Amino acid sequence: MRERAAILREIGQPLEIGDIVLADIAPNQVRVRIAASGVCHSDLSQATGALPAGAPCVLGHEGAGVIEAVGSEVHHVEVGDHVVIAWTAACGHCWFCNRGELHLCRNAIPDTYAMPYATDADGAALFTSMGVSSFATATNCLGRAVVPIPRDIPFDVAALVGCGVATGAGAALNTAPVEHGTSVAVLGLGGVGLATLMAAAVRGAAEIIAIDPVAARREAAASFGATHVVDPADGDVARQVRAITGRRGADIVFEAVGRSATIDTAIKATRRGGTTCVVGAAMPGDDVALSAYDLFMNAKTLVGCQYGSVVPARDFPMLLELWRNGRMPLDRLVTRRVALDEVNDAFADLSSGAGIRTVLVN
């Protein structure tokens, strides 16, 4: 089956639009005709080499579309169903899945990279990206990766739930659950951080402090429920957070940038007994120097967040319900829609902080 896709030929190069040939689906796979794909910072990081990726590959891990073919072993979807694709295809029976930690499934990555995917027009094998590869007109994925959604949900909103919204909102709902009346700070107001902020608002946080150097993103945060905004250019961010929170620091600080320096700031902006939740994806060699004294003396909790600790089949429809009922304005995260051919412009938007999420639509 010949399709179009944005191919990362070599790490560090721009994406190339070209033809791909999808493999015949295996019994445990489905074919999804992609309707929309969000462009997440992790795609850009994979393209530049900041995060690991196999090349050549087709990036994109925030996709939604329509089921076009179903393998004989897949029973929860049928042709014509609308779906969001999860980038962790949990097996449902390993040690982690049995504990309900589907986001940590031991078999998700090996099974994803072992599945038949695609070749380029010359017959050279392509790697999938996280089993989704949504920068394309269609994809092959494991049946267990797809979550059916109601047919009236717009595909661009649905796509964001595949990564940025699941991760960001999941951080505040699952990984470091926000309780009503608490103070929350969010460092980094991209699609991920703004989803964290929206979820903190839904959970009834009393104070939501939104931090980003980009003025338009701080303004967006204020319109999504931030009670305070902080510009890092105005001086020490941890000190600014403490000034807002009775000199204590925030109960929970979410880091959604992915750099050592902002993780350090997040820990410093966390109150005694509070929690720092690291959502941003730093590079494999990045370190954070912790004060061992601060950690014990101030009894802080530091927690890493993988994919918002989501259970996709439970959380994706729930997040879309929150959108449908006006509790989380996820549609306002979509600030630009472009065609697949313009994927490199979408990367430029991400690099420059223009808009919030640029979505590829087919």
Ligand X SMILES: NC(=O)c1ccc[n+]([C@@H]2O[C@H](COP(=O)([O-])OP(=O)(O)OC[C@H]3O[C@@H](n4cnc5c(N)ncnc54)[C@H](O)[C@@H]3O)[C@@H](O)[C@H]2O)c1
Binding site for ligand X (CB under 6 A): 40-42, 45, 163-164, 167, 187-193, 211-214, 217, 232, 256-258, 262, 279-281, 305-307, 350, 353
- Shortest distance in whole angstroms from residue 105 CB to ligand X: 14
Closer CB to Zn ion, residue 81 or residue 155?
Answer: 155
Closer CB to ligand X, residue 85 or residue 118?
Answer: 85
Which among 74-82, 88-96, 319-327, 328-336 is the span making contact with Zn ion, rule CB under 5 A?
88-96
Closer CB to Zn ion, residue 42 or residue 240?
Answer: 42
List the single partner that 275 binds among ligand X, Zn ion, none, CB under 5 to 8 Å by kind.
Answer: none
- Shortest distance in whole angstroms from residue 86 CB to ligand X: 12
Q: Which amino acid is at 259?
A: R
Site map 163..202 versus Zn ion, x via CB under 5 A: x---------------------------------------
Closer CB to Zn ion, residue 168 or residue 274?
Answer: 168
Which among 2-10, 112-120, 156-164, 176-184 is the span making contact with Zn ion, rule CB under 5 A?
156-164
List the single partner that 91 binds among ligand X, Zn ion, none, CB under 5 to 8 Å by kind.
Answer: Zn ion
Closer CB to Zn ion, residue 112 or residue 137?
Answer: 112
Closer CB to Zn ion, residue 37 or residue 140?
Answer: 37
List the single partner that 312 binds among Zn ion, ligand X, none, CB under 5 to 8 Å by kind.
Answer: none
Residue with tokens 């999504």: 224
3-state SS string for the chain: CEEEEEEECCCCCCCEEEEEEECCCCCCEEEEEEEEEECCHHHHHHHHCCCCCCCCEECCCCEEEEEEEECCCCCCCCCCCEEEECCCCCCCCCHHHHCCCHHHCCCHHHHHHHCCCEEECCCCEEEECCCCCCCECEEEEEHHHEEEECCCCCHHHHHHHCCHHHHHHHHHHHHCCCCCCCEEEEECCCHHHHHHHHHHHHCCCCEEEEECCCHHHHHHHHHCCCCEEECHHHCCHHHHHHHHCCCCCEEEEEECCCCHHHHHHHHHCEEEEEEEEECCCCCCCCCCCCCHHHHHHCCCEEEECCHHHCCHHHHHHHHHHHHHCCCCCHHHHEEEEECHHHHHHHHHHHHHCCCCEEEEEC
List the single partner that 338 binds among ligand X, Zn ion, none, CB under 5 to 8 Å by kind.
Answer: none
Which among 7-15, 22-30, 159-167, 203-211 is the span making contact with Zn ion, rule CB under 5 A?
159-167
Site membership for Zn ion, residue 40 (CB under 5 A): yes
**CB of 284 closer than 8 Å to CB of 52:** yes
Q: Which of residues 310-329 bind Zn ion (CB under 5 A)?
A: none
Closer CB to Zn ion, residue 164 or residue 225?
Answer: 164
Contact set with Zn ion (CB under 5 A): 40, 42, 90-91, 94, 97, 105, 107, 163
